[in-house]
Chains A and B, each alone.
Chain A
Amino acid sequence: MSAALEPYPVLLDVLDDGTLTTELLAPNWTPSRRWWPLFAISGALSILFFVAIGVTVARGIGAWGNNIPVAWAYGIVDFVWWIGIGHAGTFISAFLLLLNQRWRASINRIAEAMTLFALVNASLFPLLHLGRPWFFYWLIPYPSTMGVWPNFKSSLPWDVAAISTYFTVSLLFWYLGLVPDLAAARDRAPGLLRRRIYGVFALGWRGRATEWRQYRLAYTLLAGLATPLVISVHSIVSLDFSITQLPGWHSTIFPPYFVVGAIYSGFAMVLMLVLPLRRAFGLERVITAQHLDNMGKLLLVTGSMVAYAYVCEAFVAWYSGDPFERYTMLFARPLGPYAVVFWIMTTFNVVTPQFFWSGRLRTSPLALFIAGVLIWAGMWMERFVIIVGSLNRDFLPSSWHFYAPTWVDWSLLIGSIGLFSFLFLTFLRWVPFVPVSEVKRLRFEEQRDARVPVGAANDAA
Chain B
Amino acid sequence: MPKYDRWLEFPEGVASEPDALSRRDFVSLVGASIALAGLTGCVRKPDREILSYIDTPPEVVPGQPLHYATSMTIDGYATGLIVESHEGRPTKIEGNPDHPASLGASGILEQASVLQLYDPHRAKAPRAGRTTTTLDAVRAALAPPALTRRVGARGAGLRLLLEPTSSPLIASLLNEVRTRYPDAAIFYLAALESPSSIIAARSTLGAPLAPQYDFSQADAIVSLDADFLTSGPFHLRHAADFGARRRRSPAAQLYMAETAPSPTSTLADRRIALSPSGIARIAAALLDAVQSPNATASLGEVPLSEPERAWVAAVERTLGVHRGRSIVLAGPRQPQEVHAIAYALNDALGNVGHTTWYSPPAVLDAGEQSHDPAAFAASLEQGADTLLICDVNVCYAAPADLDMARHVSAVPNGMYLGAYEDETARTTAWHVPASHYLESWGDARAYDGTLSLVQPLIAPLYQSLSVAELLGALAGLGTVNVHDLLTKEWGHQHAGADAATAWNDALRRGVVTDSSSQRSTPAVNRPAALDARRSIAPQTAAPNGIEVVFAPSHGVHDGRFANNPWLQELPDPITKLTWDNAALVAPALAATHDIQTGRVVRLAVGPASLDIPALVVPGHAADVVTLIMGYGRDGAESTARGVGVDANRLRTGRAPFAASGARLVRTGDHHALAITQSHWTTEGRAPSILGQAPANGETHATTKRRRPLTLYEPKAPSSTGFGADQWAMTIDLDLCTGCSACVVACQAENNIPVVGKQGVLESREMHWLRIDRYVDGNESAPRFETQPMLCQHCEKAPCEYVCPVNATVHSDDGLNEMVYNRCVGTRFCSNNCPYKVRRFNWFDYNDELAETERMAKNPSVTVRERGVMEKCTFCVQRIRRAQIDSELAHEPHVRSVMTACQQSCPTRAIVFGSLTQPESEVVRLTNDSRAFSALEELGTVPRVRYLRRSSDSSPATDGGRS
Contact = CB atoms under 8 A, between A and B. Distances in A.
Contact of B804 (A156, A249, A391): A156
A77 B830 CA distance: 17
B806 interface: yes
Interface string B759-803: 000111000001011100000000000010100000000100111
A138 B822 CA distance: 9
Nearest to B755: A62
A60 B836 contact: no
B772 A131 contact: no
A319 to B, nearest CB: 17
Interface residues of B, number: 53
Interface string B649-693: 000000000000000000000000000011101111100110000
B915 to A, nearest CB: 25
B834 A396 contact: yes
Interface stretch (A2-10, A146-154, A219-227, A266-274): A146-154
B683 A68 contact: no
Contact of A130 (B689, B801, B825): B825
A276 interface: no
Given A61-B842, A245-B798, A68 B830 contact: yes
Contacts of B30: none
B839 A68 contact: yes
A458 to B, nearest CB: 46
A139 B805 contact: yes
A59 interface: yes
B108 to A, nearest CB: 20
Interface in B684-743: 684-685, 688-689
Given A67-B763, A154-B828, A245-B938, A60 B867 contact: yes
Contacts of B490: none
A50 interface: no
A397 B685 CA distance: 9
B935 to A, nearest CB: 6
Interface residues of A, number: 49
Nearest to B758: A62
Contact of B679 (A61, A240, A323, A398): A398
A165 interface: no
A245 B838 CA distance: 16
A69 B841 CA distance: 14
Interface string B794-834: 00001001111110000000000000001111111011101
A71 B840 contact: yes
Contact of B802 (A130, A155, A323): A155
A133 B867 CA distance: 9
Most interface-central of A60, A135, A398 (chain B CB within 10 A): A398
Contacts of A397: 679, 681-683, 685, 774
B10 interface: no
A246 B825 contact: no
A400 B774 CA distance: 13
B830 A243 contact: no
Contacts of A27: none
Contacts, number: 161
B731 to A, nearest CB: 15
A148 B838 CA distance: 23
Contacts of B772: 396, 398
Interface in A7-44: none
A132 interface: yes
Contacts of B684: 323
Contact of B806 (A67, A68, A133, A151): A151
Contacts of A151: 801, 803-806
Interface in B363-395: none
A148 B805 contact: yes
B774 A398 contact: yes
Most interface-central of A65, A245, A246 (chain B CB within 10 A): A245
Contacts of B806: 148-151
Interface in A42-96: 59-62, 65-72
Contacts of B679: 397-398, 400
B868 interface: yes
B484 interface: no
Contacts of B180: none
Contacts of A72: 827-828, 831
A103 to B, nearest CB: 41
A281 B844 CA distance: 52
Contact of B868 (A69, A71, A132, A148): A132
Given A132-B825, A399-B835, 20 more contacts: A62-B843, A67-B762, A68-B836, A71-B828, A131-B825, A132-B867, A135-B805, A135-B824, A138-B804, A138-B822, A138-B824, A148-B806, A243-B801, A245-B832, A245-B938, A395-B935, A397-B683, A399-B677, A399-B836, A401-B678
Interface of B: 677-679, 681-685, 688-689, 762-764, 770, 772-774, 787, 789, 798, 801-806, 822-828, 830-832, 834-836, 838-844, 866-869, 934-935, 938
Q: Which 8 pairs between the two chains have the least Cβ-Cβ distance?
A: A131-B825, A131-B867, A62-B842, A156-B804, A399-B836, A398-B772, A71-B827, A67-B763
